[in-house]
Structures are given as C-alpha cells and as structure tokens.
Amino acid sequence: MTVRYTDPEWVALIRETEKAVKVATTPYPVPPLESGDFAKLIDHTLLKLDATPAQIDGLCDEARREGFMSVCVRQNYVERCVENLKGSGVVVACVIGFHEGTYDINEKSNEALAAISSGATELDIVINYPKLLSGAYNEIYIELATLRNLCATATLKLILETSQLPPPAIVAGTLLCTAAHFDFVKTSTGFNGRGATIDDVRLMRAVCELHARNAGGGNEGGGTYAASTTERRRTKVKASGGLKGVWDVIKMVEAGAERIGTSSGVWIMQEARAVRSERDRVSSRDGPATGMGSTGKGQGQGQGLTRLYTDESVTEGTGGGCY
C-alpha cells in the first residue's frame, strides 16, 4: 500500500477542509413516514454481547416485516441472519473492530473477510480513534484503504465515535473516510458516550459534500479500488447511538444523515405510523396538512410533539433498548 500523503500533508488538507467547509442551513428532505424509503433508512441493530439466538431471530422477523435496510449484528450471528433473511431484501451488516476500534489492521482485515464469507454485505468498522486523536493520519488512511481494497464490493461504513472527538478530529476522520472511498461515515457505536448529535451529522455531511465537489467525481486513488462510479463519489452519513424515536430520525435526516443505526427501529416505525395517522385525521378534518409526510420536508419537526406512546406500551421484542 503506497503512502498517499504524509502526516504533515494530511494536516494541511484537514486545515484546508476546516476552513472551507460550510454546514448546510436548510434541512435535507425526509422521506414520507411509512414509505418504504423511510423504513429503508434503518439498520436494525442488536449488538449486545449476550444477545440470544431467539432475539436475533426476532430481530430478523422485525426487519423483514418493517422492510428495514439491514440487520446489524456481531460476527457470530451473521450466518444465522443471512439464512433468516433470504429473499427478504433485507441485508446483513456486521460490526468490525467493535467497539473500541483499536484492533490492528490484521485483526480488522480478518474480521472483515470472515464477515463477508459468512454473507455480510455491509461492514460497520470502528476507526482507531485514539490514533486519530494522536494525528497518525497516514497510518489510519492505510488501514482504511487496505480494508476498502480487501472488501471491494461491500458497503463500508466507518464509525468515528464522535462523542470522543472534538470537531477538528471529526473533520479529519470524515476526510480520511471519504479519501479511502468508504460508503458511509457513521457517528457512534452506541457503547461510548453520547450518540449522534445534529451538529456532528451536519459537519460530517458538509465535509463529505465538500470532498465530493473537490474530487470532481473522479477516482482519487486509494490503492487499487476502482471507485469511479457516480454513486461511489459522495460518502454518506449514518447517524447512530441514542436515536430512540421517530423525531430523532427526522432530525438526523434533516441534518444530513442518509442511514440510521438504531436498536429502536420497531418503536420508531410505530411512532411513524401514529404520527402519520394523526396527520391524516387532522387533515381530513381541517384540510391538507403542510408538515412532514405531505411535503417530505420535515416541517413541523420538534413543534412540541407529545410522545404518542408511553414507554410501557412498547411492543415486546428485541428492538427497544437492546444493544
């Protein structure tokens, strides 16, 4: 693996990016609630170490029923999920280097290859954030580019663990992620500190967009991985950790997230259906509504919505509160 930039060159690039990056002030559109596109935002996640086979089977049933994008599990359950989800259109994501991120490149590579050979098509890889904080940018880039080349057809997401990083390190991690042609940069493991925040998501999205513009659509390198298609050009943002309700999802998507990692997917869809039917009820009584779901713009978000269920009314399942 060739050195793309030296650490001082990375530092200069990161500084340039920090100066040039402009966080969006208008919200990104949110798919209508209850639409297939809304459900497809969600990686339905169960990562607790003592998850049982029965819980994992329940997770798969829920994902199939709701039409989520994926189930996100640890390596030991990948094969079971792949088998469970055959023909469902729900893919299997596996976490790598979870959750500390400090495993070396060989361990991460072996884990990644094992997950892929078990049938995972998406890998959520934890960055070595202590190394990121120490400024070992070239070393991190080499790790990411190696993983990218090794897993050329997989959807790769890089977990930054943003709760542990000041904004300049979030810029640096996002830049390294986009430079290595990862598909997503992701906020959090859900196991360390706070989860996703609006400010972090906005910043990550802005860096991804800036990098895509500067890259001009070409393959910037990154070893032998041929990331030349338009879809590969812009790294997307996955928000995760602490997203427990439909309004959390809406806020994150408006801030720029295009995927949501959550262990509360079932509850979120229940809330989405309840919000939608309340809107339909009001709209048939008072005329067309202008909020989320009719315009897809997320207007009305955060306007004093009262939760539509108490916590006690959560449907029994593997989703709520498990990780």
Binding site for ligand G3H (CB under 6 A): 45, 47, 72, 189-190, 195, 240-243, 261-264, 323
Of the listed 108, 157, 186, 251, which one is catalytic? 186
Residue whose CB is less far from ligand G3H, 163 or 189: 189
Q: 247 and 300 in contact (C-beta within 8 Å)?
A: no
Work out how close the CB of 14 gets to ligand G3H at its nearest, in angstroms, rounded to a whole number.
25
- Nearest of 85, 102, 216, 233 to residue 159 by alpha carbon: 102
Of the listed 108, 236, 238, 251, which one is catalytic? 238
Residue whose CB is less far from ligand G3H, 145 or 239: 239
Q: What is the DSSP string of 268-294?
A: HHHHHHHHHHHHHHHHHHHS---STTT
Mapped to the 3 state alphabet, what secondary structure does 30-85 carry? CCCCCCHHHHCCEEEECCCCCCCHHHHHHHHHHHHHHCCCEEEECHHHHHHHHHHC
- Active site includes 40? no
Of the listed 124, 183, 200, 248, which one is catalytic? 124
- Active site includes 48? no
Straight-line distance from the first to the last Cα atom of the chain, in angstroms, rounded to the nearest whole number: 36
Work out how close the CB of 15 gets to ligand G3H at its nearest, in angstroms, rounded to a whole number.
30
Work out how close the CB of 243 gets to ligand G3H at its nearest, in angstroms, rounded to a whole number.
6
* Position with the least CB separation from ligand G3H: 190
Work out how close the CB of 58 gets to ligand G3H at its nearest, in angstroms, rounded to a whole number.
15
User: For residues 243 and 190, what is the distance between their CA atoms, to the nearest angstrom?
Assistant: 9
User: For residues 135 and 8, what is the distance between their CA atoms, to the nearest angstrom?
Assistant: 9
Q: What are phi and psi of 84, to 5 degrees?
A: -60, -35
Residue whose CB is less far from ligand G3H, 55 or 294: 55
Residue whose CB is less far from ligand G3H, 261 or 293: 261
- Active site includes 124? yes
Catalytic positions are 124, 186, 238
